[in-house]
Structure 1
Amino acid sequence: MKIGILAVQGAFAEHKTKLEKLGARCVELRKKEDLDGDFEGLVLPGGESTVQGKLLRELEMFEPLKEKIQAGMPVLATCAGVILLADHLSNDGHVYFGTMPVTVKRNAYGRQLGSFHTIREMKGIGQVPMTFIRAPYIEKCGEGAEVVAEVDGNIVAVKYKEQYGLAFHPELDEDDRIHEAFLNSVKKYAKKNSPNTWL
C-alpha cells in the first residue's frame, strides 16, 4: 500500500513518519512526474493553503490531483488541506480543489492564539488528542458531508465519501488511530480498484 503525500510546502514529514510506522510506503509528491506513481491514498498536509494552491498550479499538479480525488481516492487532509478540499471559504474568495461540500473559515481561531491542544470525541474512533495551529474550522456542511468531531460547538472534522478533512494535526500527537482509519479506507479502495493487488 503506497500513500502519496503532497510535499510542495508545509508539515508533510510528520505524516510520512507516522504512516511508515504503520507499515505504509510513502512517496513525496513534489512535481508533476511524481503523480505517475501507483499510490492509492493521498495526504494533504498543514501549511499555507494559498502557497500550496499556487504551487500546485505552477507545477501542473493541480488538475491531475483533483481528478484522482474526484475518482474516489481516499484523502486525509489536515488544517490547510481541508481548505484545499472545501468548495467554499467564508473569509477568502479562493476555491481550490472544491471536492468537499463544506464551508471553511480560514484562521478561524485567530492568528494571535497560535495553537492549543484538547482531547475530544471523534466519531468511530473515540477520544483523541487534537492539536490546533492557526487552525480553520468548518462552518457548514453540505449534502453528504458528515460531521465527525466538534470542539466547543465548532466543527473540526468532516468525512465526505473517502475524503477526511480535519482542522487539527493528528500527525503531531502520538495517537495513531486517525491514520490507521485512513489506511483502512485506502485498503478498501485499493482492493476495489485492483482486486489482484497484494496489500
Structure 2
Amino acid sequence: MAQYNIAVVVGSFRKDSFNQKLAKALQKLFPADFSFTTVRIDDLPLYNQDDEANPSAPVKRLKDEIKAAQGLLFVTPEYNRSIPGVLKNAIDHASRPYGQSVWDGKPAGVIGASVGPIGTALAQQHLRNILAYLNVPTLGQPEAFIHNKEGLYDADGNIGEASRKFLQGWVDAYVGWVKKHV
C-alpha cells in the first residue's frame, strides 16, 4: 500500500507534451510505496486576488489535491527561458490567500524535458526561486535537464536504456528527499 502520495504538476497540457510523457514514464521507476495524483491545471481561471474569498471549483480541487499530497513533483517545459504561464497561475492560486499556501513545507522535485540540449535548465531555475519563497524544500542534486531525443523512451513509453540509470538515480534521490522531509 502506498504511503507517499505525490502530487504531479506538469507545466504543459498539450496533447503530445514531452513533459506529460516524462512524468508518466518516471512514475514507473518509483518504489511501490509511492502513488501519484496528476494535478489538473488546464481549467483554472486566471489568478485574481478578488476571487480569493470565493474560489472556483477547479481552484478548490487544486488546493485539496496539494493538501492531500506528501510530496510534489514538478515536470515543466521551458517557454521563453522560464516556466509556462499556466504553471505560474497554478502556483499562484495554491499559494493564496497570503499565509495560507498549500505548498508550504511539502518536499519537491523539479525536472523537465525539452528538444534543446540544455533541457529546461532556465525554467527549472526560475521554478526553484519561486518554490524557495513558498517554503517548499526542493531537491537540489542531482539536477535533471532532460534532452528529449531519440532513445529517451523505449517502444512501450518507458525510460530507454541509455537514460534509465541516470533517471533512476534522480528518482532514488527524490524518494530519499521526500522520506527525509515527511
TM-score, with structure 1 as normaliser: 0.48
Letter in 2 for 1:164: L
Aligned residue pairs total 119
Letter in 1 for 2:139: Y
Q: Hey, what does 1:163 align to over in structure 2?
A: 138
Q: Hey, what does 1:84 align to over in structure 2?
A: 127
- Compute the displacement of 1:49 (Å): 4.5
Determine whether 1:41 maps to 2:80. no
Q: Hey, what does 1:174 align to over in structure 2?
A: 164
| Alignment deviations for residues 117-163 of structure 1 (CA, whole Å, 9 cap, x no partner) | xxxxxxxxxxxxxxxxxxxxxxxxxxxxxxxxxxxxxxxxxxx9831
Do the aligned residues in 2 keep the contact of 1:49 with 1:81 (CA within 8 Å)? Answer: no
The structure whose RCO (Cα within 8 Å, separation 6+) is larger is 2
Q: Hey, what does 2:44 align to over in structure 1?
A: none
Letter in 1 for 2:76: G
Aligned pairs for 1:1-199 within 5 A: 1-9=4-12, 11-22=19-30, 23=32, 24-31=34-41, 32=59, 33-37=61-65, 38-49=68-79, 52-58=83-89, 60-64=90-94, 67-69=101-103, 71-78=104-111, 79=120, 80-86=123-129, 97=130, 99=132, 162-165=137-140, 166=143, 168-169=145-146, 172=152, 173-175=163-165, 176-190=168-182
Do the aligned residues in 1 keep the contact of 2:11 with 2:76 (CA within 8 Å)? Answer: no
What SS does the corresponding residue of 2:164 show, helix, strand or coil?
Answer: coil
Do the aligned residues in 2 keep the contact of 1:5 with 1:42 (CA within 8 Å)? Answer: yes
Considering only aligned residues, what root-mean-square deviation do their CA atoms show, in Å? 3.3
- How has the CA–CA distance of structure 1 residues 27 and 182 changed in structure 2, closer, same or farther, with 3 Å as cutoff? same
Do the aligned residues in 2 keep the contact of 1:43 with 1:77 (CA within 8 Å)? Answer: yes
TM-score, with structure 2 as normaliser: 0.51
Q: Hey, what does 1:111 align to over in structure 2?
A: none
- Compute the displacement of 1:83 (Å): 2.2
Which structure carries more helix by proportion? 2
Which structure carries more strand by proportion? 1
Q: Hey, what does 2:52 align to over in structure 1?
A: none
Do the aligned residues in 2 keep the contact of 1:4 with 1:28 (CA within 8 Å)? Answer: yes
In 2: Cα distance, 1:163 partner to 1:170 partner: 21
- Compute the displacement of 1:61 (Å): 4.2
| Alignment deviations for residues 83-122 of structure 1 (CA, whole Å, 9 cap, x no partner) | 2222xxxxxxxxxx2626xxxxxxxxxxxxxxxxxxxxxx
- How has the CA–CA distance of structure 1 residues 161 and 34 changed in structure 2, closer, same or farther, with 3 Å as cutoff? closer
